[in-house]
C-alpha cells in the first residue's frame, strides 16, 4: 500500500472504484510520498493533510453508500497557486497576493472536485507566472527531480516536478506561452495545453484578465501517461457559466486521415541535434503505428505569431505590469519584463486592434494547414532543458531563452492545443516532442501521443537526485 503513489490516475481510479483499495489508503500513500520528497524539491508550497484525508474519507463513504462518483474519484491531484481553491491564497508566486484567500473554487478546480479528485496540495510558480524557471520571493525555488541543476520549467514548474516525483498522479497547470508544455518537457513527463475555450477559467479573487490572457491562457493537465491526460481532460473541461469563452465542443472529433506533418526547424528555429533526433524517432514510432508522416519545411507564420502573442501577453498593460513587478522586487519577473521593453515602447493606440485583426488571418492560415495535415509534429524547444536561471545571465542569454521557446509562445496566439510527449533522456536530461492540431482536436494530439509513448518513455516517477 505504501507504493500506491507510483500508480497512474487511471489505475488508481479503477482500484478505488472497485474497492480493491480505499481512497484513504491512496491519500495516505500520497501524503507520505509528499513528505518524503517535497523537502528536496519544494514543488508543493502548501498542503493540509487533514483536509486531504477528509476528502478521501468522503469518497470512501460515498462508495460505501453505493453512490456513483466521478472518473477521478479518490485520485490525488495537485493544483497550481495561480488558480482559486477555496480557503487557499491565490498567490501566483507573489508576496503581494499572499492574503488573497479564495472564497470560491475556480471552474477548473470545481470540475476536479466534481470529478472526485482529492486535492493534494498547491504547486509553485514563478512570480506572476512570467518565466520558464520556477522561483519567487514568497515560496522559494522549485528543483527538477531529474537533475537539480536544470530548470523544472515554468510557469507550472511545481506541477511538473510534483508529478515527475510521484507527488500526486495528476497535476493542474496553466499555459499561455508553454507553461504546461515546458515543465512537462523539462521534468520528463507529458503535458497538455488544451484549445481556447476547452477548459473553463475564472478567478473571482483577482481582477478580470486582460484580452491577451483571455484569448491565450489555458489550464491543462500534466501526467505520467497519455491515458491520464485524456482522463483529466474529460473531467477538467466540464461546462461552467463563469467563463464566456467556454465552448461545448465534443472531446472526440470526426475521423480524419492519420497524416502528420513533421517540421524539424519551424520558421528557421535552430533545433538542437538531440531535439532533431527525438523528432525523427517520434516520426518513426508514428509510422510504425500506421500514421503517414511527411516532412515539411514551410508552416503558416510562427515567428510573426510570437511577436503578436507578446504584444497581447506582455505589451498590453505593460506599464501596470512593470509597476507591479517593481513593487514585488522579484529579479526574474523584472528581467522578463525588461527584456520586452522595446516591444512595449513600440505600442500605440492602434496596436491592439491591428494585432487582433492580424490574429484572425493567422488563425485562418493555420486551420487551412490542418485541413491537409491533421497533426503537426514539431519541437517543444530548440534546446534541451535550460540550466537554472539562464534567463538572468545577461541580455544574450535572455534572448537565447526566448528564441528557443518560439513554438511554445507562438501556438497559443491561435488558440491551438499543444501536447508535450516525453520520449527519452540525454544522460539524465529529458527530451521530448510537441504535437499540435486544429482547435478542439486534442483527441488527435492524444492519439498520436499514445503512438509515440508506446515506443518508450523515461522511467517515472523518479526519486529526486542530488547535483
Integer Cα distance of 97 and 80 in angstroms: 14
Burial class (CB in 10 A: 0-12, 13-18, 19+), 265: middle
Q: Is 310 a catalytic residue?
A: no
Q: Which three cell numbers stand for residue 148?
A: 537539480
Strand partners, 292: 259
Integer Cα distance of 42 and 142 in angstroms: 5
- What is the three-state SS of 383-406? CCCCECCHHHCCHHHHHHHHHHCH
Strand partners, 77: 119, 170
Integer Cα distance of 250 and 234 in angstroms: 10
Integer Cα distance of 405 and 401 in angstroms: 6
Pair 106, 201: CB distance under 8 Å: yes
Among residues 80, 129, 195, 205, the one annotated as catalytic is 80
Q: Is 219 a catalytic residue?
A: no
Among residues 129, 179, 219, 225, the one annotated as catalytic is 179
Instruction: Supply φ then ψ for residue 70, to 5 degrees.
Output: -70, 170
Pair 442, 195: CB distance under 8 Å: yes
Give the Cβ contact number of residue 381 at 10 Å: 29
Integer Cα distance of 193 and 159 in angstroms: 13
Among residues 8, 22, 129, 155, the one annotated as catalytic is 155
Integer Cα distance of 160 and 339 in angstroms: 26
In 260-348, where does DSSP find H-type helix? 273-288, 303-310, 318-328, 331-338, 341-345
Pair 132, 141: CB distance under 8 Å: no
Integer angstrom CA distances of residue 197 from 250, 302, 374 = 12, 21, 20
Q: Is 22 a catalytic residue?
A: no
Catalytic residues: 80, 155, 179
Amino acid at each position: 500500500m505504501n507504493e500506491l503513489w507510483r500508480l497512474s490516475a487511471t489505475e488508481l481510479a479503477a482500484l478505488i472504484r472497485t474497492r480493491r483499495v480505499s481512497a484513504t489508503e491512496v491519500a495516505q500513500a500520497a501524503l507520505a510520498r509528499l513528505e518524503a520528497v517535497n523537502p528536496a524539491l519544494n514543488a508543493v508550497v502548501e498542503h493540509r493533510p487533514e483536509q486531504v484525508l477528509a476528502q478521501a474519507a468522503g469518497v470512501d463513504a460515498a462508495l460505501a453508500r453505493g453512490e456513483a462518483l466521478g472518473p477521478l474519484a479518490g485520485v490525488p491531484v495537485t493544483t497550481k497557486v495561480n488558480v482559486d481553491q477555496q480557503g487557499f491564497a491565490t498567490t501566483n508566486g507573489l508576496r503581494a497576493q499572499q492574503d488573497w484567500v479564495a472564497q470560491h473554487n475556480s471552474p477548473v478546480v470545481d470540475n476536479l472536485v466534481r470529478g472526485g479528485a482529492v486535492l493534494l496540495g498547491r504547486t509553485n510558480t514563478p512570480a506572476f507566472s512570467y518565466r520558464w524557471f520556477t522561483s519567487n520571493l514568497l515560496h522559494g525555488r522549485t528543483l527538477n527531480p531529474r537533475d537539480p541543476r536544470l530548470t523544472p520549467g515554468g510557469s507550472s514548474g511545481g506541477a511538473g516536478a510534483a508529478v515527475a516525483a510521484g507527488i500526486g498522479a495528476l497535476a493542474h497547470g496553466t499555459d499561455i506561452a508553454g507553461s504546461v508544455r515546458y515543465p512537462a518537457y523539462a521534468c520528463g513527463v507529458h503535458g497538455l495545453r488544451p484549445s481556447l475555450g476547452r477548459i473553463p477559467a475564472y478567478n473571482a479573487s483577482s481582477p478580470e484578465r486582460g484580452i491577451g490572457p483571455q484569448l491565450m491562457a489555458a489550464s491543462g493537465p500534466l501526467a505520467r501517461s497519455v491515458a491520464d491526460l485524456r482522463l483529466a481532460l474529460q473531467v477538467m473541461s466540464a461546462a461552467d457559466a463563469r467563463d464566456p469563452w467556454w465552448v461545448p465542443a465534443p472531446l472526440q472529433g470526426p475521423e480524419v486521415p492519420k497524416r502528420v506533418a513533421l517540421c524539424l526547424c519551424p520558421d528557421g528555429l535552430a533545433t538542437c541535434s538531440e531535439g532533431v533526433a527525438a523528432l525523427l524517432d517520434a516520426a518513426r514510432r508514428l509510422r510504425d503505428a500506421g500514421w503517414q508522416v511527411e516532412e515539411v519545411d514551410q508552416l503558416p507564420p510562427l515567428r510573426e505569431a510570437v511577436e503578436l502573442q507578446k504584444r497581447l501577453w506582455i505589451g498590453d498593460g505593460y506599464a501596470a505590469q512593470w509597476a507591479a513587478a517593481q513593487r514585488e522586487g522579484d529579479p526574474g519577473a523584472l528581467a522578463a519584463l525588461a527584456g520586452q521593453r522595446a516591444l512595449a515602447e513600440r505600442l500605440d493606440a492602434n496596436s491592439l486592434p491591428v494585432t487582433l485583426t492580424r490574429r484572425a488571418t493567422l488563425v485562418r492560415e493555420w486551420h487551412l494547414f490542418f485541413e491537409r495535415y491533421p497533426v503537426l509534429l514539431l519541437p517543444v524547444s530548440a534546446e534541451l532543458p535550460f540550466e537554472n536561471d539562464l534567463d538572468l545571465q545577461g541580455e544574450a542569454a535572455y534572448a537565447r531563452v526566448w528564441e528557443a521557446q518560439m513554438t511554445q509562445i507562438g501556438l497559443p496566439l491561435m488558440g491551438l492545443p499543444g501536447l508535450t510527449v516525453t520520449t527519452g533522456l540525454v544522460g539524465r536530461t529529458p527530451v521530448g516532442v510537441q504535437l499540435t492540431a486544429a482547435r478542439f482536436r486534442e483527441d488527435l494530439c492524444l492519439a498520436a501521443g499514445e503512438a509515440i509513448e508506446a515506443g518508450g518513455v523515461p522511467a517515472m516517477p523518479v526519486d529526486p537526485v542530488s547535483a
